[in-house]
Amino acid sequence: MEELIKVKNECQNIKMKYLVRVRKPDTNEYVAFNVPLANDMPMEIKDLILDSIIQKVRGLDCVPFNPTITEVGMLECLPVSEVNNYDNIHAAVTSTFSESVSELDFDDIWGYCICIRYGNNSVKEAIFFKKFAYPKVLKQSILMTIVGDVYNKLDSDIVTVDNETHAFSLNNILYILNKGQFERFFNYSSSYQKVVTESIETLKELDVIENFDVFVGNCLNSDTLTRRLVKIITDERFETLKRNMHNVQSVVDDFSLNVKLEGGKIVYDEDSPVSDIITLIRGACVIGALDKEKYLASDTKVVEAR
């Protein structure tokens, strides 16, 4: 909060740039287009977005970014070194060379960034990110402006900047204000799918799910299931399943899961809900320590013995 107030009050320079994503076989590249802002517009934009962000984050505690769950009343964050595509985006946005906005096709805009250099003693950098969506109402309408007493048609592109920001970086930490748009901006969907596809052969060797390829394929058809699958892969929950396969049937029975078990492994077929299998593997079937009730948890965290 204090740092955001410094960004607002100690602003030295503001630049706004549109980003266009260029897909490559193994990566994404980004091209930045400079957006010239006239007169007092930079300061107006700065106050617009910062007043909104300061209001949103006031009183929130920061928690590490979790791809599978969003905690209400918390501000998720992670080091910029761990943000997917961050280096490529940062390089494009902070480059001294940018393409002219007159060369930009607005249909190609991936998002925009507002870069603020601030500080009275040492100059720091804050960057605000927003995924761009060209309003259909503007594209499919006749745009007019009044000149005197007559409305004339506008032939130029119309763009808006509002107070909505999807993520921002300060002191090498990126803070997430809109998780879905943050993931779209930094192209996490392809990153998640890459984690899954690169893990398939290793996970198949564990031999814990019959028809494993079909199971994974159906997970990849859903962004939500893909995120959950990535989480259980990175948490090594498939290995945990392998070690504790003898407990699976009792968990399935106690928590009424629609999961089939044959020959010492889970059998996946067209009648098997993917969500129930993932719930089982990620350890979401828990018993409350206080009331001994059975719960399906949205997330779990190992508590180390003291």
Residues 128-163 have pLDDT tens digits of 999 987 655 455 566 566 666 666 665 656 566 778
In three-state secondary structure terms, 259 is coil
User: Does position 250 have pLDDT exceeding 90, yes or no?
Assistant: yes
The answer to which of 97-106, 155-164, 192-201 has the lowest mean pLDDT is 155-164
Residue 88: phi, psi to the nearest 5?
A: -65, -40
Rounded mean pLDDT, 73-94: 91
Which two tokens mark 218?
Answer: 């159906």
Contacts of 5 (CB under 8 A, 6+ apart): 54
pLDDT at position 267? 92
User: Does position 115 have pLDDT exceeding 90, yes or no?
Assistant: yes
pLDDT at position 239? 94
State the average pLDDT for the chain: 86
User: Does position 175 have pLDDT exceeding 90, yes or no?
Assistant: yes
Percent of the chain exceeding pLDDT 90 equals: 40
Residues paired with 167 in a beta bridge: 129, 176
Closest CA to 220 of 259, 241, 189: 189
- CA-based torsion, 32, 42, 165, 301: positive or negative: positive
User: Does position 45 have pLDDT exceeding 60, yes or no?
Assistant: yes
What pLDDT band is residue 69 in, cutting at 50, 70 and 90? confident
The answer to which of 1-10, 141-150, 272-281 has the lowest mean pLDDT is 141-150
pLDDT at position 192? 86
- What pTM, to 2 d.p., does this model score? 0.76
Contacts of 182 (CB under 8 A, 6+ apart): 129, 131, 166, 167, 176, 188
What is the Cα 196 distance to its own chain's centre?
Answer: 17
Query: In degrees, to the nearest 5, what angle opens at C-alpha 236 toward C-alphas 281 and 288?
Result: 50
